[in-house]
Amino acid sequence: MVPEPGDPAVAIEAKQVCAAFRAVGAEPGDTVIFHASFKSMGHVSGGASTVFDGVLAATSPGGTVAMPSLWYSGKPEETPDRFDVKTSPTYVGALAEALRLDPRSHRSNHWSHAVAAIGARAQELTARHSAGLRRPAPWSDTAFATRSPWWRFYEWNALYAFIGVTMRVCTIKHAIEGALVMRHLASIPAARRSEARATLSMDCVQRLWPYYNSEAMQDELAAAGLLHQTKLGSATLRAIRTRPLVDTTLAKLLAEPEKWLQPPFLEWIENLERYRQAR
């Protein structure tokens, strides 16, 4: 997607960042995860740290600010063993890289779906990324494990925000897709689940996967009153709580699969019936 272009004639400071995030629901003690285009806001006085400090002010006392800190971009040379949590840069934008480099920052140790964070719960959020129960994902089944930051966002009902970008870049959508896969696998005998899972994308080998249009889902979440919106400088700021984001989206994918999922994955769902009949 193309981010909003931004207006360099518009200048913002930390107080404007704080006010905008409070307008979309940030509260004291919150964890805020956001995707952003730095330029979309206009001229940010003081640079990237102004944005982080503004979000921390909006969630003070006890707040935490986080961003995706993804390193793996699909290049053949980007193998898991080459990822260094301290030095490997993130490809997802200038603001995300600035957060990784912030001296206050903690980063989770995962080669494909790391998260960086600063604030009161940053160390807790980013510790033990691959721990807990594994969940299906096209990259590895530890990317969205139950102790990963992505599921902590859900447990903590973090405020999930977007600055100058749409929900097309919503990383947690892949955790939702994995949850959908788990729901379907749970409907067949346990002894056959590995066989059915092996026909889907895994370990960076692309096969089938329940990708859905997250921009269209954004419209539905907004229509339901779950997505809030304001301006941050020249950018649009959107935000939603993580639990309703995940729960509502998953419910829609389960209730209306033909509307959201591609025919090959719908066929995979239908083919699960042969495993149920073999009980």
Residues 110-138: tens digit of each pLDDT: 999 999 999 999 999 999 999 999 999 99
Say if CB 32 and CB 158 are below 8 A apart.
Answer: yes
Say if CB 127 and CB 152 are below 8 A apart.
Answer: no
Say which residue the tokens 């080669």 belong to: 111
pLDDT digits (tens, 9 = 90+) for 50-93: 999 999 999 999 999 999 999 999 999 999 999 999 999 999 99
What order do you get walking across the sheet with 228-232 strand by strand?
106-107, 115-119, 64-68, 31-36, 159-163, 235-241, 228-232
Say if CB 202 and CB 138 are below 8 A apart.
Answer: yes
Say if CB 230 and CB 237 are below 8 A apart.
Answer: yes
Burial of 13 (0-12, 13-18, 19+ CB in 10 A): middle
Task: Work out the pLDDT band at 279, boundaries 50, 70, 90.
Answer: low
Percent of the chain with pLDDT over 90: 97
Q: Domain residue spans in the chain? A: 11-171+213-241
User: Any idea how long the chain is?
Assistant: 279
Of 122, 131, 274, 76, nearest to 192 by C-alpha is: 274
- Average confidence (pLDDT) over 99-110: 98
Instruction: Tell me the C-alpha distance between 164 and 231, whole Å.
Output: 9
Look up the pTM and report it: 0.96
pLDDT digits (tens, 9 = 90+) for 200-219: 999 999 999 999 999 999 99
Instruction: Tell me the C-alpha distance between 71 and 97, whole Å.
Output: 10
